[in-house]
Amino acid sequence: MRVARHQQHWIAFSTIVTREIRRFLRIWAQTLLPPAITMTLYFIIFGNLIGARIGEMGGFSYIEYIAPGIIMMAVINNAYANVASSFFSAKFQNHIEELIVAPVPNYVILAGYVAGGTARGLFVGLIVTLVALFFTQLPVQNLFITFSVVLLSAILFALGGFINAIYARSFDEISIIPTFILTPLTYLGGVFYSISLLPDFWQHVSMLNPVLYMVNAFRYGLLGASDVNLWLAFGIIVLFIAALSWFALHLLDKGTGLRK
């Protein structure tokens, strides 16, 4: 052994992260450009054109109110998509075998892919934030809350993308979850409206949606306004991260979708 085992693990981890970052930067036209364009359209259509007629929401101009949700939506989608597509491609092209035969513990494989997905989520989040600043102001009320919520949310959805990729047997199967679960949860997660506008029953139903907590906690960090309790939001995000990490590691240990 050339270096101590913990150093080997650290080198393996940083190798996976570097490779993941290099990958999404190499294919920037597929990974970084589309969210910038889509979110610009959201700001133009929902923010400027329609938002001007809606007026205020929660004490803020409509475009200001939806900006945090739109940024969070971009972070969530990209963190998820990065890990799902990268890990599934590695399985599909069999180059995941490079990692399986190497002395890399499963927790390092998981951490490396999740860190790569998180990096893309944050990178895209930064791009969308810069786009948002062309349309509205974003007065950061609490930098720590803003950054920690966006970081934890990116980690959570990167984990989700990883689990999806482990189970997926075709490229179709890595688009099913984003299309039928992730997108509805995001759109109904308080990105475009305050749940106080909903009837009581639908308010209670909305409270079961984890994305609502992320969007509102992030909005609290930026604007100081939220429909949910901040500590409950942090608790839910951390709980989901713990549960999905355990489950992803369990699947890796079992070799699900990886070993015959």
Partner 1 sequence: MKALSIQQLHKTYKNGFEALNDVNLEVEQGDFFALLGPNGAGKSTTIGIITSLVTKTSGRIQVFDADLDTDRELAKSYIGLVPQEFNFNGFEQVKHILITQAGYYGVPAKEAETHADELLKKLGLWDKRHSSARALSGGMKRRLMIARALVHQPKLLILDEPTAGVDIELRRSMWTFLRDINRQGTTIILTTHYLEEAENLCRNIAIIDKGQIIENTDMKSLLNRLDRETFVLDLKQPLADLSAIADLCCHQIDSTTLEIELCRSESLNSLFNRLSECGIEVASMKNKANRLEELFLTLVESSETQQ
Q: Which residues bind partner 1 (CB under 8 A)?
A: 1-3, 5, 7-9, 11-12, 14-16, 18-19, 22, 26, 89-90, 93-95, 97-105, 255, 259-260
Least distance from C-beta 82 to partner 1, angstroms? 15
Return the amino acid letter for 31.
T
Instruction: Provide CB contacts within 8 A for 65, sequence distance 6+.
Output: 56, 57, 58, 194, 219, 223, 225
Nearer to partner 1, 18 or 196 (CB): 18
Least distance from C-beta 122 to partner 1, angstroms? 22
Cα separation, 249 vs 18, in Å, equals 21
Least distance from C-beta 180 to partner 1, angstroms? 29
Nearer to partner 1, 53 or 260 (CB): 260
The string of DSSP letters for 162-208 reads: HHHHHH-SSTTHHHHHIIIIIHHHHHTTTSSS-GGGS-HHHHHHHTT
Least distance from C-beta 123 to partner 1, angstroms? 20
Contact between 60 and 223 (Cβ < 8 Å): yes
Going by the DSSP 8-state scheme, the letter that residue 61 receives in this structure is E
Nearer to partner 1, 1 or 208 (CB): 1
Least distance from C-beta 209 to partner 1, angstroms? 37
Phi, psi of 57, deg, nearest 5: -140, 125
Going by the DSSP 8-state scheme, the letter that residue 209 receives in this structure is -
- Cβ burial of 37 (10 Å; 0-12, 13-18, 19+) is exposed
Least distance from C-beta 181 to partner 1, angstroms? 29
Nearer to partner 1, 18 or 179 (CB): 18
Nearer to partner 1, 5 or 204 (CB): 5
Q: Which two tokens stand for residue 256?
A: 């699900």
- CA torsion 158-193-220-144 (nearest 10°) is 20
Instruction: Provide CB contacts within 8 A for 251, sequence distance 6+.
Output: 163, 166, 257
Nearer to partner 1, 53 or 94 (CB): 94
Least distance from C-beta 34 to partner 1, angstroms? 19
Task: Give the three-class secondary structure for 58.
Answer: coil
Nearer to partner 1, 95 or 204 (CB): 95
